[in-house]
Structure formats: structure tokens, C-alpha cells
Amino acid sequence: MAKILMDAAEFVRRHLDAARNYKTIYMYAAYGFQVTDATIAAKAKQNLNGWYTPTNINKLRAVANETPPVWGFDCVNTTKGILWGWTGDASKIYGGAVYGSNGVPDTNANGMIGRCREISTDFSTIEPGEGLWLEGHWGVYVGDGLAVECTNHSGWKSGVQVTAVWNIGKKDGYHGRYWTKHGKLPWVGYSGEADKIEPEVIALGDRTIKKGTKGADVKELQEALMKLGYALPKFGADGECGTETVKAIELFQTDQGLEADGKFGPASFEALKRALAGTAPADPMNGLYTAKHVPAAEIAGLKARCPGVEVTRE
């Protein structure tokens, strides 16, 4: 009988941690490797399944030797790496993982689902922490209709990420897919009560924000835009991306030299981080606030609330 290494809540937390708190990239046959010249060369020499083509090697080289490191994973190796002890320890080339340890075998996605119990195609019974499988691919269900998977799917970001489980329902702002089966891993303890694991809290940058998107990440974006002078005088930081917020996103994108499509995705998120790092937070109540956008109908009200505010464009 396999040894239980962690409960489902911890298993979910570690997958979400890798997806949300570390810079990752898809790297075939890597279970949490620091992407360096040496690790790229070692894996390219093996060239398992012919994946290490010049194109893929160049993508890895573009992020090699960074500090903090970029971590390389593939789909099932994300889970194996975590079960082997990966914690993102930057002092260790494999992040703390020890190959083949803890009684967890080195197996592919098809082999991993074969080791699960209570395998099912009925997604109404799935619990957080269960493995997700389709032919040749692997992920982990983290609750609230979401998964953590590592992929280099065309049009998605490369690496460990949060996606929607379409068997349960599509999610605004998330890429997603239909999975074939799910099952309980032998090294994870399951309570049988899925609702005891907290739903994933969506962090800013985890998904694309567009008109109609709601949530804490939208509110965080709105607060950041206002700090940078992109005023939202009518609705403020209400957590809902409406016309006013879309307009502010478009203006921010224009100022940053990005396509002004009103959709706040990865490129806009990186630009926002740079802008916040280089700008002292503004305060419309201290008389020093320059609002970069205020609808004409809202200017009088904003100036009444915030004496001394400057408006640079409508």
C-alpha cells in the first residue's frame, strides 16, 4: 500500500503555488528544473520523444540562468515533482525534488492515471486533489471547476497554469479543456468532502480580464489603475469590469505601447507591474492627483469630491 505523503488540501495548495507564485515554462521531462544552460544541454542530449528541437531549445535559452530562476516542468512531472519534494528552493537545481523518491515511480500521464483508484468519467463526483487525464496529458483538479496543468498549448502561456475543467463548465477568462477521466492518487489523502477545500482565489494575472469579468482580481486591477491616474469616477473599484474599466484598460495599453483591445492579459499585467514599480501611488484626495481619463459627464462630480484634481483627457 502506498504511503500517504500529504492530504488533498496540501496537494492542491502546492500545485496552485507552482502555478501562481513561480515563473515556469514547459520543459519536456523536467520535474521542476531550474532552466539553465546546463539543464537545457542535459535534456537536449537525451532529446526524449524528439521534443528538444532547435525551436524549443531556443525558447528555453531565452529564459535560462535568470534570478530568481525560471522552473521547467511538463504535465505529469509537475505532480511527480511535487510528490518528490519540489518546493521551489532556489538553492537547489531541482527545487528540492529528489528523483524517484517517496515511493512515487517515474511514469507518464497514462501510467499515472493507471495507478489511481476510483477512476471515473463522471465529473459530478470529482474531489479537489484528484488527477485529471486525457490521452498523453495530465492535470490536477483544484476545486471550483478549475485545474492546474503544465502545457505549451498553442495560444496559451507556456508553463504551469490554472485552467477551466470544461466537463464541469466553462469559466470566463480561463483557457480550458475537456478531460477524459479523473481519479484519486495513492499518495494523497482524500477526506471525501470536497467542499472543505477552499475554492481557488483568483489572483491578478491568473486570467484575462475583459468586459463582464468579475472578482477580486478585477478589483485589484481597478485599484492599480486608479493609483496610476486612470480614474474610474463613476463606479470605482467595484470588482466588475464594465465599460468604464475597459476604457481605462485601453488607455493604459495605449500609454504602454500595447494593442488597445481593452482585454487585460499577460502583456498588460507585466506592463502594470513595471508601471507600479516606477510610480509613486497617487491619491485623488491629496490635491496632487492627475486623472488621465474621466468621462466628460463625471468631471464636475470628481472635482467636487477631490478639490485640486487635474484632468488630462476625457
pLDDT computed for residue 234 by the predictor: 79
Q: What is the mean pLDDT of the chain?
A: 89
Asked if pLDDT for residue 53 goes beyond 50, the answer is yes
Q: What is the pLDDT of residues 3-13, one digit of tens each?
A: 899 999 999 99
pLDDT at 193 over 50: no
The sheet carrying 146-151 orders its strands as: 117-120, 181-184, 131-134, 137-143, 146-151, 159-165, 176-177
How far is Cα 304 from Cα 86, in angstroms, rounded to an integer? 55
pLDDT for 10: 95
Rounded-to-integer distance, Cα 257 and Cα 239, Å = 26
pLDDT over threshold 80, residue 192: no
So what's the pLDDT on residue 289? Answer: 62
Cβ contact 137:192 at 8 Å: no
56-65, 198-207, 273-282: which has the highest mean pLDDT? 56-65
Domain with CATH 1.10.101.10 in the chain: 216-311
Using DSSP's 3-state secondary structure scheme, residue 179 falls into coil
Distance, CA of 177 to CA of 298 (rounded, Å): 42
DSSP assigned state of 186: T
Confidence of residue 1 (pLDDT cuts 50, 70, 90): low
pTM for the model stands at 0.68
Residue 21: pLDDT band with limits 50, 70, 90: very high
Which pLDDT score, from 0 to 100, does residue 197 have? 45
What pLDDT is recorded for position 261?
95
pLDDT for 194 equals 42
What pLDDT shows up at residue 227? 84
Model confidence pLDDT, tens digit, residues 196-238: 445 556 789 888 999 988 888 999 999 999 888 887 877 888 8
Residue 280 pLDDT level (bands cut at 50, 70, 90): low
Q: Identify the pLDDT of residue 12.
A: 96
Q: What digits encode the pLDDT tens for the residues 111-147? A: 999 999 999 999 999 999 999 999 999 999 999 999 9
Mean pLDDT of 7-32: 96
pLDDT per residue as tens digits for the range 81-104: 999 999 999 999 999 999 999 999
Q: Specify the residue for cell string 526524449.
A: 48
pLDDT at 200: 54
Mean pLDDT across the stretch 241-265? 92
Residue 216: per-residue pLDDT = 86
**CATH of 216-311 among 1.10.101.10, 3.40.50.2300, 1.25.10.10, 3.40.50.1820:** 1.10.101.10
CA neighbours closer than 13 Å in the CB half-sphere of residue 174 = 22
